[in-house]
Structure 1
């Protein structure tokens, strides 16, 4: 059984520092888990655990694979998410392959550049899409909860903004004129697919770690 730091109240199945920081802010925010502090949320990368193979066919399946592996390794409740961008005219692609769309997992620049190249000749009226997130809580005894979040928008023709990560610089949230990367962290978390999914899951998490 993998040892867990004494201050840990919540285990998050990710080694992605950007995602860990974003989820710490969401889960300890106004609509997050009452009384939870950022330093009490520990990522699986900090525990030295390997990333499991994500071979599910949906965001929810991949999130469950990650959370199940962490719960089994530690004997503690674990949360995870799987998320990505789904472009309407591409039939929902990149979808679950968003993080490795270019063939190199986690290469944000290459993934973004490839998607822009594939949409180069697509007119603005057909550039709709969504960020999608499945957030899950898995207990060691097998109980599982899945919550979903979505943010609709359009795909820009060039990156804009220095904030965020992944496809944020080319995603214009519905009703806005700026990209997700041009929003500050609080603005982004208030409307994001990940924020919506984890705020739905917050009450389940609070009950699970009480």
Structure 2
């Protein structure tokens, strides 16, 4: 691309790149064409150790690592499920709640067992996303590159935890989470949809990640376009 600025999405997930590109296009209009999005995976960068104690810290760890290695601006996010009756757990441990990383079914089955005796009215929860945008210091021509500015925004998707999973879309805890914000249609049972019963478009319109990244677009425009 000519006359564009490269922005690295600190992920190895191509689906996340597609989602962020859609959000930037919606929010920035034709100006989004001036930003070339690439993933950390496409650049061959390793995943950093995410040893923060909050979503904000882990998002910054990922974005800062990309900037220091490449000298390019970076965007990163970290997200998870917060269940009120569990004192905000599983939180940053959401992806490995069952004791090891990435087993979605084991994670949500353990969670359902832990709150099995909790009445429906008290099974409130929210997905939370922290999105970080980090810009390098200009003028340095070798790694490690310095950081000029950074910004973090939060987005929440509130709802409740049901007792049995429903739906085939999404990932993680989506099959047991019913967002308060719902599309116009109902589920097969006539009631509200879980995140896993929504289409990607329906979920993205209300998701915690979309809200957090949209909140960053003003900073992205100011740093990369204006």
TM over 0.5: yes
CA RMSD of aligned residues (A): 2.0
Distance in 1 between residues matched to 2:12 and 2:29, nearest whole Å: 21
Q: Which residue of 2 aligns with 1:208?
A: 223
CA deviations 1:67-121 (Å, max 9, x no partner) are: 0001111100000011110000000001011111122222222222221222222
> Cα offset for 1:202?
1.2
TM-score by length of 1: 0.88
**C-alpha spacing 1:199/1:113, structure 2 compared with 1 (3 Å):** same
Q: Which residue of 1 aligns with 2:208?
A: 193
Q: Which residue of 2 aligns with 1:3?
A: none
Q: Which residue of 2 aligns with 1:81?
A: 77
Distance in 1 between residues matched to 2:4 and 2:104, nearest whole Å: 32
Question: Please, which runs of 5 or more residues in structure 1 have no aligned partner?
Answer: 1-5
Of residues 172, 176, 179, the one that matches 1:166 is 172
What SS class does the counterpart of residue 217 from structure 2 fall into? Answer: helix
Of residues 33, 36, 39, the one that matches 2:32 is 36
Distance in 2 between residues matched to 1:8 and 1:169, nearest whole Å: 38
**C-alpha spacing 1:68/1:82, structure 2 compared with 1 (3 Å):** same
More moved, 74-83 vs 103-112 = 103-112
Q: Which residue of 2 aligns with 1:155?
A: 161
Q: Which residue of 1 aligns with 2:110?
A: 114
Kindly indicate whether residue 42 of structure 2 is the aligned counterpart of residue 27 of structure 1.
no
**C-alpha spacing 1:109/1:26, structure 2 compared with 1 (3 Å):** farther
CA deviations 1:106-161 (Å, max 9, x no partner) are: 22222222212222222111110100011110112221111111111001112111
Of residues 54, 57, 62, the one that matches 2:58 is 62
Distance in 2 between residues matched to 1:137 and 1:185, nearest whole Å: 24
Distance in 1 between residues matched to 2:75 and 2:91, nearest whole Å: 20
1:125-136 aligned within 5 A:
125-136=121-132
Kindly indicate whether residue 141 of structure 2 is the aligned counterpart of residue 144 of structure 1.
no
CA deviations 1:162-196 (Å, max 9, x no partner) are: 11121111110015411111111221111111111
Question: Please, which runs of 5 or more residues in structure 2 have no aligned partner?
Answer: 138-146, 183-191
Aligned length: 203
Of residues 28, 43, 47, the one that matches 1:51 is 47
TM-score by length of 2: 0.82
Distance in 2 between residues matched to 1:16 and 1:85, nearest whole Å: 19
| Bigger Cα Rg | 2
What SS class does the counterpart of residue 164 from structure 1 fall into? Answer: coil
Distance in 1 between residues matched to 2:214 and 2:29, nearest whole Å: 8
**C-alpha spacing 1:78/1:40, structure 2 compared with 1 (3 Å):** same
